[in-house]
Chains A and B, each alone.
Chain A
């Protein structure tokens, strides 16, 4: 009836298994995003979808189209690479924004911003020397 009939049984089973794992993990991740209560817990759930959720669906796609076209098809792997490389950017952005907000609002359960030793003095010193340089062109 359709061209999927060309797939051998073992390939069809393999593809179905990968698709099941991938979509199942992504579903669990989305479910966790809905169900978990704190923001910091919630950022963990979708990583199921961005790690093995994506990987398993990509593997299923590679297997399926390599079998159907009788030549290796690998460009889906780029999806996996780009998802893996870009997830940290979003996650850090969200995480740091939440952390900043919680610290400003003094919410409990968030680690305080530990003032790094010497960093405050250092920055004020550089500020001073910079302004001094601007004033008379001579560092203190």
Chain B
């Protein structure tokens, strides 16, 4: 089973993607499944680390939190840009020590931090486990530290580690 279908999730995702791009029909399902099957064999040949999702329920919760935060920070950043120089704004770098080590979890954190306007992931030091962030509106470092550590990293560790 594992030999023939090494990455079942990826395969399902590829079939869904194929069906979305074409029209739903039995023929397209067969073609899509064949392509997904070949693509998954290629992926298995690369031997990537297999991500292990432990808590599916928390994944949904995290998605909700992230979508909400993206809306909120979109409004915040748009307001700052429109206000222009009227308000004193301080942007700056900050270093955050991370306890998350799982590579898939780190990738997910990178996507979250990048998609959220106002924070940019710049550098990750794998030896020390520190992350260098650039924050657009750095009023209080502890607020951002709390946001990354307790809001995202905690959930990501629950999900992936």
Contacts and interface: CB of A to CB of B under 8 A. Distances in A.
A44 B136 contact: yes
Nearest to A44: B136
B105 interface: no
Given A51-B117, A96-B123, A99-B122, A44 B77 contact: yes
Chain A interface bracket (under 10, 10 to 19, 20 to 34, 35 or more): 35 or more
Per DSSP, are chain A's interface residues mostly helix, strand or loop, or mixed? helix
B81 A116 contact: no
Interface string A55-80: 00000000000000000001101100
Contacts of B132: 99, 111
A85 interface: yes
Contacts of B81: 28-29, 31-32, 35-36, 45, 48
B115 A84 contact: yes
Contacts, number: 103
A76 B68 CA distance: 21
A91 B120 contact: yes
Contacts of B123: 95-96, 99
B53 interface: no
Interface of A: 25, 28-29, 31-32, 35-36, 38, 40-41, 43-45, 47-48, 50-52, 74-75, 77-78, 84-85, 87-88, 91-92, 95-96, 99, 110-111, 114, 116-119
Interface of B: 17, 20-21, 70-71, 74, 77-78, 81-82, 84, 91, 93, 95, 110-111, 113-123, 125, 127-128, 132, 134, 136
User: Would you list the 8 A-B pairs with minimal beta carbon distance, nearest first?
Assistant: A32-B81, A88-B114, A75-B20, A47-B117, A44-B136, A95-B122, A116-B127, A52-B74
